Structure 1
Amino acid sequence: MSQRLKAAWEAVNASYWFYPALFAGLAVLLALFTVHLDRSGWADWLGTIEWLQPARPEGASNMLTVIAGTMIGVASTVFSITIAAVAYASGNYGPRLLTNFMEDRGNQFSLATFIGTFVYALTVLRSVRMADEQTLFTAAESTAMSGFVPQLSLLVAYGLMALSIAVLVFFLNHIPASIRINSVLEGIGQRLINDIGERFPDSASAAVEMKAPEGRPVTADDTGYIQRVDWNRLERIAQAAGGHLKLGVRTGDFVHPQVPLAFWSDDDQLDDLRDDEIRQCFALGGMRTPGQDLHFLIDELVEIGLRALSPGINDPFTAITAVHWLGAATAELGGRDLTRAYGGNEDADEDRLVLLDDDFAHYIKRSFGAMRSAVATSPATAAVTFEALVNVATSLDDETRRKALAQEGEQLMRQARESLAGPDLETVEARFRTFEKRIVR
């Protein structure tokens, strides 16, 4: 599957229409199947069960009508509650958090269950016939006066109703639990840590070489954020062309026409026949997505922390939780080899595809550095940040990476001296001195 199709699939999965539409279609098929079993006599064995009272046409019609009417009402209420929760979360935690709530499977499947039950009940209802009803089709004249009650279909409808009640109870518990800030931060933090492990599977071995790519550029021909990149296809293109391709952008970058996406090496004397193939390896969209973008998840944690420390909200404890998850993610990055290589050559210059990598200091600036100015205004958050940096350093053996953490701590202290005074500043100064002793071996 191409990366553009994967990006489109992710957009569909992050919508509220896909699973309800899917469940509605499956409900129609299930209703037609169970009604067929009732008509063909496969469900006659239900009459041998003594405790299972058969339904009469009027009772069956009333039951299905109540189920259908109730389910569409509940679905409307669930949708309203979901939208209200999403609006609350995106307004208080940041608009980028909207993606997380749109992807929430609990909300999607809850709404889909009610829609599916409604469609099933409505489809079965049209097959119920009273004994005195006349058929409109001549082929069924022999059974026109006998009436028809799909007993198996009614039993399935009753089971779906029971399932819907259980889902409603789950939904009423899930919504308030999902918008709790600790749950939101845990979901983002755990996903970030898991993505780091998948993106950088090898242990730290060498420093990342930060080289600006050079050569003949392959420029973008469209505008948007890079949502996905097909790395394997890019390598195959470079291999087939006999050239060396160096990327000039990362997933999550914003590009427009004439912005270089990649560069053919200066040593390669290649024409631009394959440039369109390279452009097709980049899936663009109107917003960033967390699919291949670690920075997106980091930015979400930073945004929550900055909002919590803003004067209008003033919630340092939420910011402290964000710092804790950033510290855990930074420790995970610190123990990983941040260079992504394709080709397996000992000399990276021989690889057909060279990615635009980021070193450990870059991730520190993207996380702790982005929060620095706000953290410096909160003595409690600043103290926890020093502690988080020390905890990261204790798991590192690379002196260069430990030095990057020490520099971030020094810059935070410089910022705090500009923002704090009196006892608050003295408290932070004392914590900084402890930080210096513990982080320097």
Structure 2
Amino acid sequence: MLARLHSFWFALKASYWFYPALFAALAFALALSLMGLDRAGSTEWLNRISWYFPAHPQGASNMLTVLAGSMIGVASTIFSITIAAVAYASGNYGPRLLTNFMEDKGNQLSLATFIGTFVYAITVLRAVRAEGETATASQAFVPQFALLASFGLMIVAVGVIIFFLHHIPASIRINTVLEGIGRGLLSKIAERFPDSNSVSTEMRSTPSGSSVTADATGYIRYIEFEELARVVRDSNLRIALAVRTGDFVYAGRILAQSDSDVLSDDIVDSIRGCFSLGGSRTPEQDLEFSIDELVEIALRALSPGINDPFTAINAIHWLGAATAELGQRELRQEICDDDGTSGRVIPVLDDFGHFVNRGFGAVRMALASSKIAALVALDSIRDAANQINDPGRIALLAREGGLLMNQAEVTLGGPDLQEVRMRHAAFQKSFAP
């Protein structure tokens, strides 16, 4: 249940309606509160300020009408520009990047500001009354304090427009897109694997009892490890996970293997409840998702139809940084329960070779088809290896450079191949003991 709530909250924050709806509700409440102060006479002090000129009903109505009309028009334009930018980015950089733009707080909050200002202006406008306008209220009423606040919101909205006009073209620049993916990946690596690398030879026995299978179809978006550890501890079990976040499962596929011969339906349901499924992957717990995004951008850039090796080079630089960061981390997760006991939940082991193959291995063929990209890839792999102390991981990177060279022997020729050979020879020397 907690996993599903967590996944729902993540999807909520990544939507284009959550913040506009929230701001609209807050604007409505703010308008009612400020008008209540005006009706109670708590804002009479405004009339004693020499530089403040109280508004009359006609002027207040005109101002609020213009504000409301302009805000809804700007909101419509902003939404159209945002959709066009998202369509352009996802079409050129890859459909998986749609998630990044949907999560962009600049777009969400800009739209929310205009919607909130519109709701505020309409709410205050309804309360403005001229003298004798209605039978129940013979005196004129202009909520001066609420009107002053609307002027402040207008200034804020103008500032947001200026911000948005800069933010949209900046956000779809490929360097900005890659930086967002890369920095997000590095922060998630540090969060998921907080300990520095230490060579561990301890092998854990894998439970081989009853299994817990999925009862639905979709991608695993989130695993509630703390809740899973609590369920396993309360049931006096040990389990080994058979899937990781981002895997696609369907009814009957094994999620976890336990050390018990028989599991009750309640325990099975509790364990299943720690897995949240959805129709798409999300980067929240899924490191491979961010790596796949970098790989996808590099593959698209190096495709014959686009042929943009410099975009691929930017993606390779961030892949190299992520590889270096992973190489310096202890990649074995310790899932602890409330009392600090670990070892009851054994996650899927994602060793360093898995991540190297997911990154440089997945884009190897495309890199080998471009002299510029191949040279940069060899340098990035070498630089990553220089940051790593584990001989086994260094050997994996040396092997990856060799595989890239072998592929280049097939796809390149002439002076380009000769240059890559020379760079690879220097690459091999850097790995020599």
| 1:301 aligns to 2:294 (yes or no) | yes
| 1:384 aligns to 2:372 (yes or no) | no
| 1:72 aligns to 2:72 (yes or no) | yes
Return closer, same or farther for 1:428/1:83 CA change in 2, 3 Å cut-off.
Answer: same
Q: State the partner residue of 1:22.
A: 22
Q: State the partner residue of 1:427.
A: 419
Q: State the partner residue of 1:227.
A: 221
SS at match of 1:126: helix
Amino acid at match of 1:20: P
SS at match of 2:219: strand
Amino acid at match of 1:102: M
Offset, 1:327? 0.4
Query: How many angstroms apart in 1 are the aligned matches of 2:87 and 2:213?
Result: 38
Q: State the partner residue of 1:286.
A: 279
SS at match of 2:289: helix
Query: How many angstroms apart in 1 are the aligned matches of 2:420 and 2:200?
Result: 32
SS at match of 2:362: helix
Aligned positions of 1:121-140 closer than 5 A: 121-135=121-135
SS at match of 1:283: strand
- RMSD of aligned alpha carbons: 1.6
Query: How many angstroms apart in 2 are the aligned matches of 1:88 and 1:171?
Result: 17
Aligned positions of 1:346-365 closer than 5 A: 351-365=343-357
Offset, 1:292? 0.5
Query: How many angstroms apart in 2 are the aligned matches of 1:370 and 1:13?
Result: 31
Sequence identity percentage: 57
Q: State the partner residue of 1:437.
A: 429
Query: How many angstroms apart in 1 are the aligned matches of 2:35 and 2:399?
Result: 71
Query: How many angstroms apart in 1 are the aligned matches of 2:291 and 2:62?
Result: 54
Aligned positions of 1:207-286 closer than 5 A: 214-265=208-259, 268-273=260-265, 274-286=267-279
Q: State the partner residue of 2:366.
A: 374
Unaligned runs of 5+ residues in structure 1 are 136-140
Query: How many angstroms apart in 2 are the aligned matches of 1:160 and 1:256?
Result: 50
Query: How many angstroms apart in 2 are the aligned matches of 1:65 and 1:409?
Result: 66
Q: State the partner residue of 1:166.
A: 159
Task: Identify the range of structure 1 (387-396 vs 238-247) with the bigger mean alpha-carbon deviation.
Answer: 238-247
SS at match of 2:131: coil
Query: How many angstroms apart in 2 are the aligned matches of 1:383 and 1:154?
Result: 63
| 1:405 aligns to 2:407 (yes or no) | no
Task: Identify the range of structure 1 (37-46 vs 69-78) with the bigger mean alpha-carbon deviation.
Answer: 37-46
| Contact kept? 1:72, 1:114, Cα under 8 Å | yes
Query: How many angstroms apart in 2 are the aligned matches of 1:62 and 1:423?
Result: 73
Offset, 1:211? 8.4
Return closer, same or farther for 1:270/1:242 CA change in 2, 3 Å cut-off.
Answer: farther
Q: State the partner residue of 2:3.
A: 3
SS at match of 2:256: strand
| Contact kept? 1:23, 1:113, Cα under 8 Å | yes
Offset, 1:213? 6.7
Query: How many angstroms apart in 2 are the aligned matches of 1:271 and 1:64?
Result: 65
Offset, 1:206? 2.2
| Contact kept? 1:210, 1:357, Cα under 8 Å | no
Q: State the partner residue of 2:55.
A: 55
Count of residues in Structure 1 that have an aligned counterpart in Structure 2: 428
Offset, 1:395? 1.2
Offset, 1:270? 3.4
| 1:89 aligns to 2:89 (yes or no) | yes
Return closer, same or farther for 1:343/1:115 CA change in 2, 3 Å cut-off.
Answer: closer
Query: How many angstroms apart in 2 are the aligned matches of 1:169 and 1:214?
Result: 61
SS at match of 1:342: coil
| Contact kept? 1:213, 1:248, Cα under 8 Å | no
TM-score, normalised by the number of residues in structure 2: 0.96
Offset, 1:145? 2.2
| Contact kept? 2:209, 2:261, Cα under 8 Å | no
Query: How many angstroms apart in 2 are the aligned matches of 1:403 and 1:368?
Result: 14
| 1:339 aligns to 2:361 (yes or no) | no
Return closer, same or farther for 1:43/1:192 CA change in 2, 3 Å cut-off.
Answer: same
Query: How many angstroms apart in 1 are the aligned matches of 2:207 and 2:252?
Result: 16
Task: Identify the range of structure 1 (335-344 vs 255-264) with the bigger mean alpha-carbon deviation.
Answer: 335-344
Query: How many angstroms apart in 2 are the aligned matches of 1:200 and 1:281?
Result: 21
Query: How many angstroms apart in 2 are the aligned matches of 1:256 and 1:320?
Result: 37
Cα displacement string for residues 242-266 of structure 1 (whole angstroms, at most 9, x for unaligned residues): 221110000000000110000012x
| Contact kept? 1:326, 1:368, Cα under 8 Å | yes
Return closer, same or farther for 1:89/1:337 CA change in 2, 3 Å cut-off.
Answer: same
Offset, 1:343? 4.6
Q: State the partner residue of 2:407.
A: 415
SS at match of 2:379: helix
Cα displacement string for residues 247-305 of structure 1 (whole angstroms, at most 9, x for unaligned residues): 0000000000110000012xx34333311111111000000001110000000111111
Query: How many angstroms apart in 2 are the aligned matches of 1:176 and 1:210?
Result: 51
| Contact kept? 1:214, 1:263, Cα under 8 Å | yes
Query: How many angstroms apart in 1 are the aligned matches of 2:231 and 2:72?
Result: 51
Query: How many angstroms apart in 1 are the aligned matches of 2:426 and 2:297?
Result: 28
Query: How many angstroms apart in 1 are the aligned matches of 2:319 and 2:243?
Result: 24
TM-score, normalised by the number of residues in structure 1: 0.94
| Contact kept? 1:338, 1:359, Cα under 8 Å | yes
Query: How many angstroms apart in 1 are the aligned matches of 2:406 and 2:206?
Result: 31
Return closer, same or farther for 1:173/1:130 CA change in 2, 3 Å cut-off.
Answer: same
| 1:35 aligns to 2:35 (yes or no) | yes
